[in-house]
């Protein structure tokens, strides 16, 4: 074995038009080690790894593999060097089956035809690695975001790469799936695979990382051991310290005015007989494993999907089934789990995306209110600190976390009083998370209320006043924030699953 790192980015730079996104950054990936990239939303992490994956080419600096300078003009070239990448945004073909997606580009053939048996077998093996238990014939589009993420991971793992790049693979996962992923990572590390890992979950860094490269504003800040304290990491990353990661201020004082009532809500095959109420000023967390029906429940309440029976009442008035518009009129706002597929029009500007929910209500005589919209959008982009070079740039060119803030911002502009949040901070950095939490506080203090589905248990525990646990589409139990602990919630959420296995 040589003493060269497997992969080196040496003083690379990258700009998009007039915007310098990466300036003279160096990173090494060593065999049998996990290099962590850390930085705020928009710091340039994804841009950096896209240069390793052959998606972008650096404007300056060089890429070395085994100490030799190489050029990676396209993704194929990167793959030929043994680099596999799990990108932050999913790249799956929704209409194709799980198996076909996992084996995409490497479909096993027999006599020039697809060898379906081998296809299924190889895909199954890849999925078993990370413990994804779905039928490999299912079209990927029918899976939720977390399972799609697992398919994406399986796809990258099955390539047998020497270098594996993971851009926020855990953002959509619950602790349960994250643990299976980390087992695989530990295994690969023993086999000498070099890995580069990005995550906004700081606790994961010490758990699987070896060394951390910190970026700020596209520049190299420091390289520190992964055992560095979280506080120190935060300080390096945002340039200041954050005192309270979950600054929940309870706002339930003025009487228990009931704002949302869900009664016996049932959607066959998704969830059954769900009842709960939400009081003004309350944050209700919904916890559960992937596939427990959390997203389906939120979507039904928001009017995104129809349901079979039961009712949803807002301030005593029943909402019609499956009408997003009626839900919005009643004051509901829905942040869906999949920002790329369901939240944003990627080609449209940040400004337009922030304004869709209020496009009609702010219009006069059918004419869009451009100047009003622009000032509202600018104000919200400011509050949420959406990092962009212009409010007119396509929202698809923002970094992942900033895109997430844009979805959130739409409902701030709409002044929604009941927010239905599905993974509201997926991919959002620690600093910006606190800003989103503060917005949640502001909404509840103004008499609004929030239902929050999140796979991040610390977030659910830290921000909710009350926690519902879903298991297999049914309510498994309820905790007050005082009683809840990670262990209690996980045990309840996973009970059946553990018994089955």
Partner 1 sequence: MSAATLQAKRRSFDVKKFLANNGALVGLVVLCIALFIATPDFLTGRNLLNIGIQVSTVAVLAFGMTFVIVAGGIDLSVGSVAALSAMVSGWFFVSAGLPGWLALLGGLAAGLLAGVINGLASAYGKLPSFIATLAMLSIARGLTLVISDGRPIKTSPEVSFLGGNLGPVPMPIVILLIAALVASFLLNRTVVGRSMYAVGGNAEAARLSGLPVKRIIVIVFGLAGLFAALAGLLLAGRLDSAQPQAATGYELDAIAAVVIGGASLAGGLGRISGTFVGALVLVVIRNGLNLLNVTSFWQQVVIGVVIALAVGIDVLRRKTRSS
Ligand X SMILES: Nc1ncnc2c1ncn2[C@@H]1O[C@H](COP(=O)(O)OP(=O)(O)OP(=O)(O)O)[C@@H](O)[C@H]1O
Chain residues that interact with ligand X, rule: CB under 6 A: 16, 19, 21, 39, 41-47, 88, 387-388, 397-402, 427, 429
The b/e string for 22-40 (b: 16+ C-beta within 10 A; e otherwise) is bbebebbbbbebbbbbbbb
Identify which of residues 367 and 482 has a Cβ nearer to partner 1 in the complex. Answer: 367
Identify which of residues 58 and 281 has a Cβ nearer to Mg ion in the complex. Answer: 58
The yes or no reply on residue 360 touching partner 1 (CB under 8 A) is yes
The yes or no reply on residue 494 touching partner 1 (CB under 8 A) is no
CB of 44 to ligand X, least distance (A): 4
The yes or no reply on residue 356 touching partner 1 (CB under 8 A) is yes
Binding region for Mg ion (CB under 5 A):
46, 88, 400
Identify which of residues 238 and 414 has a Cβ nearer to ligand X in the complex. Answer: 238
The yes or no reply on residue 336 touching partner 1 (CB under 8 A) is yes
CB of 139 to partner 1, least distance (A): 16
Which CA distances in Å does 396 have to 31, 199, 259, 379, 406?
34, 20, 35, 20, 11
Rounded Cα distance, 302 and 317, in Å: 14
Beta-strand relationship, 258-267 and 271-279: antiparallel
Which CA distances in Å does 31 have to 52, 189, 195, 223, 404?
16, 8, 8, 17, 34
The yes or no reply on residue 325 touching partner 1 (CB under 8 A) is yes
Among 59, 73, 72, 68, CA closest to 23: 59
Q: Which stretch binds partner 1 (CB under 8 A): 162-170, 224-232, 337-345, 466-474?
A: 337-345
Q: Which does 43 bind (CB under 5 to 8 A by kind): partner 1, Mg ion, ligand X, none?
A: ligand X
Q: Which does 471 bind (CB under 5 to 8 A by kind): ligand X, partner 1, Mg ion, none?
A: none
State the binding string over 362-381 for partner 1 (x if CB under 8 A, else -).
-x--xxx-x-----------
CB of 358 to Mg ion, least distance (A): 28
Q: Which stretch binds partner 1 (CB under 8 A): 144-152, 164-172, 240-248, 358-366?
A: 358-366
Rounded to 5 degrees, φ, ψ at 430 are -55, -40
Among 177, 174, 172, CA closest to 288: 174
State the binding string over 400-429 for partner 1 (x if CB under 8 A, else -).
----------x-------------------
Number of residues near partner 1 (by CB under 8 A): 37
The yes or no reply on residue 96 touching partner 1 (CB under 8 A) is no
The yes or no reply on residue 359 touching partner 1 (CB under 8 A) is yes
Identify which of residues 58 and 400 has a Cβ nearer to ligand X in the complex. Answer: 400
Using DSSP's 3-state secondary structure scheme, residue 467 falls into strand
Residue 260: strand pairing partners: 278, 314
The b/e string for 233-271 (b: 16+ C-beta within 10 A; e otherwise) is bbebbbeeebeebeebeebbeeeeebbbbbeebebeebb
Rounded Cα distance, 87 and 149, in Å: 10
Identify which of residues 158 and 403 has a Cβ nearer to ligand X in the complex. Answer: 403
The yes or no reply on residue 17 touching partner 1 (CB under 8 A) is yes
Structure tokens of 402? 């900033």
Rounded Cα distance, 406 and 453, in Å: 18
For the segment 69-88, give every residue that binds partner 1 (CB under 8 A): none
Among 328, 380, 320, CA closest to 351: 380
The yes or no reply on residue 42 touching partner 1 (CB under 8 A) is no
DSSP string, 158-210: TT--SEEEEESTTTT--HHHHHHHHHHHHHHHHTT-EEEEE-S-HHHHHHH-S
Rounded Cα distance, 107 and 119, in Å: 7
Which residue is nearest to Mg ion, using beta carbons? 46
Q: Which does 328 bind (CB under 5 to 8 A by kind): partner 1, ligand X, Mg ion, none?
A: partner 1
Write out the residues near partner 1 by the rule CB under 8 A: 17-20, 55-56, 217, 302, 304, 324-325, 327-328, 334, 336, 341-348, 352, 356-357, 359-360, 363, 366-368, 370, 389, 394, 396, 410
């Amino acid at each position: 074995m040589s003493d060269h790192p497997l992969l080196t980015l040496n003083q690379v730079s990258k700009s998009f038009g007039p915007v310098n996104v990466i300036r003279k950054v160096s990173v090494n990936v060593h065999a049998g080690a996990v290099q962590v990239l850390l930085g705020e939303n928009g710091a340039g992490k994804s841009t950096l790894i896209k240069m390793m994956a052959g998606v972008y080419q650096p404007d300056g600096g060089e890429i070395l593999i085994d100490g030799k300078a190489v050029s990676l003009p396209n993704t194929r070239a990167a793959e030929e060097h043994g680099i596999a990448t799990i990108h932050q945004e999913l790249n799956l073909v929704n209409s194709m089956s799980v198996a076909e997606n996992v084996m995409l580009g490497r479909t096993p053939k027999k006599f020039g035809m697809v060898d379906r048996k081998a296809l299924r077998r190889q895909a199954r093996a890849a999925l078993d690695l990370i413990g994804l238990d779905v039928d490999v014939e299912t079209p990927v589009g029918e899976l939720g975001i977390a399972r799609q993420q697992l398919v994406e991971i399986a796809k990258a793992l099955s390539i047998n790469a020497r270098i594996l790049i993971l851009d926020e693979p855990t953002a959509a996962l619950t602790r349960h799936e994250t643990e299976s992923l980390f087992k695989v990572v530990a295994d690969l590390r023993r086999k000498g695979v070099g890995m580069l890992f990005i995550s906004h979950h700081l606790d994961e860094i010490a758990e699987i990382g070896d060394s951390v490269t910190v970026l700020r504003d596209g520049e190299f800040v420091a390289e520190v051991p992964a055992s560095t304290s979280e506080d120190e990491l935060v300080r390096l990353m945002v340039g200041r310290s954050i005192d309270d990661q979950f600054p929940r201020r309870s706002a339930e004082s003025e009487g228990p005015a009931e704002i949302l009532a869900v009664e016996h809500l049932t959607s066959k095959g998704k969830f059954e007989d769900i009842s709960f109420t939400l009081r003004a000023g309350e944050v209700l967390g919904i916890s559960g494993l992937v596939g427990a029906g959390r997203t389906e429940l939120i979507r039904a309440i928001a009017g995104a999907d129809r349901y079979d029976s039961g009712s949803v009442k807002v301030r005593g008035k029943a909402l019609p089934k499956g009408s997003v518009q009626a839900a919005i009129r009643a004051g509901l706002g829905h942040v869906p789990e999949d920002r790329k597929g369901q939240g944003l029009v990627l080609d449209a500007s940040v400004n337009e995306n922030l304004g869709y929910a209020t496009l009609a209500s702010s219009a006069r005589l059918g004419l869009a209110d451009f100047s009003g919209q622009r000032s509202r959008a600018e104000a919200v982009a400011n509050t949420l600190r959406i990092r962009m070079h212009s409010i007119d740039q396509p929202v698809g060119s923002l970094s992942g976390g900033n895109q997430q803030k844009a979805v959130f911002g739409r409902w701030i502009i709409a002044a929604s009083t009941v927010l239905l949040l599905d993974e509201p901070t997926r991919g959002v950095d620690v600093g910006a998370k606190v800003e989103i939490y503060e917005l949640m506080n502001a909404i509840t203090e103004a008499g609004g209320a929030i239902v929050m589905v999140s796979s991040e248990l610390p977030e659910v525990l830290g921000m909710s006043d009350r926690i519902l646990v879903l298991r297999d589409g049914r309510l498994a139990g309820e905790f007050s924030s005082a009683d809840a602990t990670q262990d209690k919630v996980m045990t309840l959420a996973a009970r059946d699953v553990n018994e089955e296995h």
